[in-house]
Amino acid sequence: MNTTNTEELDYLIVGQGLAGTLLSFFLLNKNQRIKVIDFPHPGASSKIAAGVVNPVTGRRIAKSWRFEELLPAARQTYRELELLLGIEIWQERNILRALHNNFEESEWDRRGAFPEYEPYFEPTADASSFQGKIHQPFAWGELKQSAQAAMPELVFAYRRWLEKQGLILEENFDYQQVKPDRARVIYGRFSAKKIVFCEGARALDNPFFNYLPFVPTKGELLIVRIPGAGFDKMLKHKTFIVPIKSDPENPGIPEGELFWVGSTSRWEYDGPEPTEERRKWLVKQLDAVLELPYEIIRQFAGIRPTVQDIRPFLGTHPKYPALAIFNGLGTKGASLGPFFASQMAAFLLGTTKLDDEVNISRYSIPDA
């Protein structure tokens, strides 16, 4: 395999969304020789994600899976990336959650009394900064140990860093050029120990891993300006209203007036483009919450790499061990990504085993 025109790598990573960004970061920290192949495409969910790190989610007020492990891993990883890239990524910020009736309030109080939930529940919710700015719900709950990770800023800044290091190729990946054996894999001019696919929802077109039960969902969101808002917490009231620092296309908008609003979720969709139907739905939700006037700056849409059993996909191909996958982070990628990217890197280096719940060995290739 070693010819004059062959570039020897340890790992060739396909995709530079959140999964590819984090995995390459951990492998580079272990002095591995890598290259990343990525071609920007519409619908990449990492480029529009709010990056909410939420300890308790859903209508059932359920504690996020393994959050006690995920939170410290996320905090440490994003802060290390801040130092590398010279940008702010991680911001700890409480979530103020609207409770709409007596049942929801009672359920909130009941959950908060459980020992495993108590660290994440504020004893008394403080909605004073929202007074007179939003329509008040029946009651409030407040979550602590929650945070935001600036996903679009991270992915963009890390791409620029990879470019400066000569570690990224902006081109479409051609599956026909993949030539694996048990020891290494050839792709074009590269010879690598493994190719690791971190393609997000595009994995549906991957002939090696499309047997995995991806159930991609389309999410749509708005970026809005709310003059005079100054919300200091993330708000879950009909929809999420999450503060963001800036909009690169509108740098003159002051901090404290820009917000991410969303997102919607649809299992069936025609394409990655934003739709008027979802825009109207988001506007209806905003109008039901806000008392302040607002301006819609932009609408975005993205395809999330969600998974049937709501657990990420990590592991190597059952027939071609030189091919691997790290994908399926879904709607909780900001919190799941750092912990499992670290685990995936350690697995590739042979220093740990994958957790059974995320190992793709839990699925078998269907018979032809």
User: pLDDT tens digit string along 147-203?
Assistant: 999 998 999 999 999 999 999 999 999 999 999 987 899 999 999 999 999 999 899
Q: What is the pLDDT of residue 1?
A: 44
d(CA 90, CA 77): 9
Q: How confident is residue 60, by pLDDT bands cut at 50, 70 and 90?
A: confident
> Strand pairing of 234-237 and 95-99?
parallel
Cβ-count burial 108-133 (b if 16+ within 10 Å, e if not):
beebbeeeebeebbbeebebeebeeb
CA 204 vs CA 22, 218, 257: distances in Å: 21, 14, 38
Calculate the dihedral angle through the C-alpha atoms of 277, 271, 57, 144, rounding to the nearest 10 degrees: -90
Task: Check residue 4 and give its pLDDT.
Answer: 55
Confidence of residue 45 (pLDDT cuts 50, 70, 90): low
CATH architecture assignment, domain 7-46+153-213+309-362:
3-Layer(bba) Sandwich (3.50)
116 pLDDT higher than 80: yes
Q: CATH 3.50.50.60 in the chain, residues?
A: 7-46+153-213+309-362
Please give the backbone phi and psi of residue 14, each rounded to the nearest 5 degrees, phi first: -105, 110
Average pLDDT, the chain: 92
Q: Say if residue 57's pLDDT is above 50.
A: yes
- CA 263 – CA 218 distance, rounded (Å): 9
pLDDT in tens, 213-243: 998 888 899 999 999 999 989 999 989 999 9
What does the pLDDT average to over 308-329? 95
| Distinct helix (H) and strand (E) counts, the chain | 6, 20
Domain 94-145+217-304 CATH assignment equals 1.20.120.1200: no
Please tell me which of 43-52, 54-63, 89-98 the model is most confident about, judged by mean pLDDT.
Answer: 89-98
Q: Which of 255 and 138 is assigned the larger pLDDT?
A: 138
Domain with CATH 3.30.9.10 in the chain: 94-145+217-304
pLDDT at 24 over 70: yes
Instruction: State the angle between helix axes of 151-165 and 18-29 in degrees (0 to 180), rounded to the nearest 10.
Output: 50
Residues β-bridged to residue 295: 225
Residue 318 has pLDDT above 60, yes or no: yes
Percent of the chain predicted with pLDDT > 90: 78
Q: What is the pLDDT of residues 68-115, one digit of tens each?
A: 999 999 999 999 999 999 999 999 999 999 999 999 999 999 999 999
Q: What's the predicted TM-score (pTM) here?
A: 0.94
